[in-house]
Homo-oligomer: A and B are copies of this chain.
Amino acid sequence: MRKSGSTEVFTSLDDFYQRGDQVYLPHLSVDCAIFGFHENQLRVLLLKWKGGKWCLPGGFIKHKESVDTAAHRILQERTGLTDLYLKQFYVFGDPKREKEKKNSPHWIGKRFISIGYYALVEFSKVQPHPDVFSEACEWFDIDEVPGLIYDHKAIMMKALEALRFDLNDHPVGLNLLPKKFTMPELQRLYETILGESIDRRNFQKHMLSMDILIRLEERKTGGAHKAPYLYQFDKRKYMLALRQGLKLGW
Measuring CB to CB, which residues of chain A are less than 8 angstroms from any residue of chain B? 25-28, 61, 63-68, 70, 88, 90-91, 93-95, 111, 113, 115
Contacts and interface: CB of A to CB of B under 8 A. Distances in A.
Nearest to A66: B94
A115 B113 CA distance: 11
B95 A115 contact: no
A76 to B, nearest CB: 17
28 contacts: A25-B26, A25-B27, A25-B111, A26-B26, A26-B27, A27-B27, A27-B28, A28-B28, A28-B113, A61-B93, A61-B113, A63-B111, A64-B111, A65-B95, A66-B93, A66-B94, A66-B95, A67-B91, A67-B93, A67-B94, A67-B113, A68-B93, A68-B94, A88-B90, A88-B91, A91-B91, A91-B115, A93-B115
Given A27-B28, A28-B113, A66-B93, 10 more contacts: A25-B113, A26-B26, A27-B27, A61-B113, A65-B95, A67-B94, A68-B94, A88-B91, A91-B115, A93-B115
A23 B90 CA distance: 24
Contacts of A70: 93
Contacts of A93: 61, 66-68, 70, 115
Contacts of A63: 111
Copies in the complex: 2
A103 to B, nearest CB: 11
Nearest to A169: B165
Contacts of A27: 25-28
Contacts of A94: 66-68
Report which residue of A26, A91, A113 has the largest number of chain B beta carbons within 10 angstroms of its beta carbon. Answer: A91
Contacts of A64: 95, 111
A85 to B, nearest CB: 17
A63 to B, nearest CB: 7
Name the 3 nearest CB pairs between A and B, nearest first: A67-B93, A66-B94, A25-B27
Contacts of A68: 93-94
A60 B95 CA distance: 14
A61 B25 CA distance: 15
A93 B71 CA distance: 11
